Chains A and B, each alone.
Chain A
Amino acid sequence: MSGHVMNEVSWSRRERTWVGLFAAAALSAVLLPARQNWRAPEKQADGFPFSYYPMFSKRRRQHANVVYAVGITADGTRRRLRHSVLGTGGLNQVRRQIYRVALTEERADDYATALLPRLLANPSCDDLVSVEIVRGVFDLDECLLSHEVVATEEHVLAAADLGRVPATASELTPAAELVTAEELIPTSAAATPTTPPAAAPGLAGAPQ
């Protein structure tokens, strides 16, 4: 704004008033969500495009919970399923949806059942016989320092059978083989799956 200052008369009072009111109202709307920081956690509410950026005020602990889906083949091999296999909208949207249904709403069974048509229609899942919705507990320091993302505990929240004879490796189409490498991630052999379907909202380090 290094230009010369205009004669204020050339900017009509009406236009200036409108600009002032609009700018004040818009800036107030942007700043107002800050008050959420001082509300009780159960009363805090985020919005769009006016936000108080709650992801920055979450407590981050050494152990974190992540809810995800694991595909299981006929020989018992367990593989974490890529977000694009589970739903649309990208990793974070899929992650939030699975967390919401499986933990917050305690409907992990519904999520697993709803997932079946998607898995049956996806060539990369031709060798799967069932799917599990799992809450994994991760030691963040261990994962990052060892360069290996392995859950220290896995709790199966729900399981669903695909109800079909799986394709063998030789039966997979070339296209299926291509996506298999990308979309299926080996899960930890060290992790011990347990079956308490205990939903645990509010656990330390739970995903937002």
Chain B
Amino acid sequence: MIGPLRAVATPAARLGLVRAMVGGYTLYYLARRRKMLREVVRTDPAMFSPVGPVRVLREPLSAPVADKLNDATLVSTALFTLGAGHRLLGPVHSALVAWTLSYRNSWSMVFHNDNTLVLHTLALGVSRASDAVSVDALVTGRRPDPHPRYGWPLTLMNAFSTATYMLAGIAKVQGPSGWSWVHGDSMRRQVAIDIVRKEVYGSEAPATAYTLYQHRALFTLFAAGSLVIELFAPVGLLHRKLGKLWAVGAFGMHWGIRVIMGIRFRYQLSGVSFAAWFEVERLLDLVRRAR
């Protein structure tokens, strides 16, 4: 294997902390949406359009069963975050998150911003992500040495991230605009249609979009920047510093989208989506020193 894909020893604490961060984010995300999820599973069955693993169903589950699955996912998320019983619960949690978010996306609208969270959870769930920074580690008292088994899940998470951005880039240049997408007109119109929909449906539209819309050249800049970040994303896998640079760029792009379009890619905006690129275990050292 080349570059960061080779077997490199990685501290267990790095993987453990990333697990806790992703789990914490998921817990926050799902707990805040519990009421909404209860309403969504009671949507008119005619709107049911299953995606992902939910495609095994021809009709929606009964609402009480769907509620119980949502609540089970919340419980598994809490245990995943704590790193309790991870060997068994990790894969179960990955499956539950994939199911819950797929079921939520099975009502005629797919929220693609959940994709990365599901994929990251999968990588963490099947790995030994609770060998440190976890209840499991507290109970067993183990302090494992750095090992490649703590590195590959992080590398896989980063590969998932770069792959999804690259796919977005491919969709842009492979669409009807082709490489002229880089001129920014498609992006500008995409911003406009999004603002119109927000206004029509009574959601808050950011004033920035109106202000920037008249500046075509800016959109050429934004479009070129986003294409570079997306199409060249896999380059970040070749060298750790390049990877960090890419992560900072992608993080900035999402904040730009937030300001201009008012679209919240919450997982990316939180920064948790990019945690696997960094030596986050240093945060634990900072905490220890602060004591």
Residues of A participating in the B interface, judged by any CB pair closer than 8 Å: 1-6, 8, 10-11, 15-16, 19, 22-23, 26-27, 30-31, 33-34, 37-38, 46-62, 64, 66, 68, 80-84, 87-97, 100-101, 114, 136, 138, 140-141, 143-145, 147, 149, 182-185, 205, 207
Instruction: Find out whether the CB atom of B192 lies under 8 angstroms from the CB atom of A143.
Output: yes
Q: Please, how many angstroms separate the alpha-carbon atoms of A163 and B104 in the complex?
A: 34
Indicate if the CB atoms of B115 and A145 lie closer than 8 Å.
no
**Binding site of B, secondary structure by majority: helix, strand, loop or mixed?**
helix
A-B contact pairs, 13 of them (CB 8 A): A6-B148, A11-B147, A15-B149, A46-B51, A50-B115, A64-B192, A89-B36, A89-B40, A91-B198, A93-B108, A101-B47, A140-B196, A149-B205
Closest to B4 in A: A1
Q: Are B9 and A4 in contact (CB under 8 A)?
A: yes
Q: State the CA gap A90–B104 with chains docked (Å).
A: 11
* Nearest opposing residue in chain B for A4, CB measure: B9
Cβ contact within 8 Å between A53 and B168: yes
**Residue B59 CB within 8 A of the other chain:** no
Which B residues are in CB contact (< 8 Å) with A8? 7
Residue of B nearest to A143 (CB): B196
Least distance between B250 CB and chain A CB atoms (Å): 15
- Give the contacting residue for B193; candidates A5, A22, A207; CB below 8 A: A207
Q: How far is the CA of A51 from the CA of B47 in the complex (A)?
A: 20
With contact pairs A37-B171, A60-B190, A83-B202 given, residues A23 and B195 touching in the complex (Cβ less than 8 Å):
no
Count of inter-chain pairs, beta carbons less than 8 A: 221
Q: Is the CB of B147 within 8 A of A10?
A: yes
Please report B residues at the A interface, Cβ cutoff 8 Å: 4, 6-11, 36, 39-40, 42-44, 46-47, 51-52, 98, 101-102, 104-105, 107-112, 114-115, 118-119, 122-123, 126, 146-149, 151-152, 155-156, 159-160, 163-164, 167-168, 170-172, 174-177, 185-186, 189-193, 195-203, 205, 209-210, 213-214, 240, 279
**Contacts known (A23-B159, A30-B164, A97-B47); A1 close to B240, Cβ less than 8 A:** yes
A62 vs B190: C-alpha distance in the bound complex, in angstroms?
Answer: 10
List chain A residues, Cβ under 8 A from B151.
1
Residues in A with CB closer than 8 Å to B9 are 3-6
B41 nearest in chain A by CB position = A88
Contact between B8 and A100, CB atoms less than 8 A apart: no
Check B197 against A93 for contact (C-beta < 8 Å).
no
Which residue of the partner chain, among A1, A53, A60, A92, contacts B111 with CB atoms under 8 Å?
Answer: A92
Question: Inside 8 A of A53's CB, which chain B residues have their CB?
Answer: 112, 164, 167-168, 171
Q: A58-B175, A89-B39 are in contact. Are A97 and B107 (CB under 8 A)?
A: yes
Chain A residues closer than 8 Å to B114, beta-carbon distance: 48-49
Structural contact, A95 and B197, CB atoms closer than 8 A? yes
The chain B residue sitting closest to A47, CB to CB, is B51
Whole-angstrom distance between the alpha carbons of A56 and B42 in the complex?
30
Whether B167 contacts A52 by the Cβ 8 Å rule is yes
Asked if A114 contacts B44 (CB within 8 A), the reply is yes
- Please give the distance in Å from B127's CB to the nearest CB on chain A: 8
- Given A60-B189, A91-B197: A11 and B168 interface contact (C-beta under 8 Å): no
Question: Is A143 in contact with B195, judged by CB distance below 8 angstroms?
Answer: yes
Who on chain B is nearest to A183 by CB? B202
Q: Does the CB pair B108–A145 fall under 8 Å?
A: no
Which one, B160, B171, B192, contacts A56 given CB within 8 A? B171
User: Which chain B positions have C-beta within 8 A of A93?
Assistant: 40, 107-109
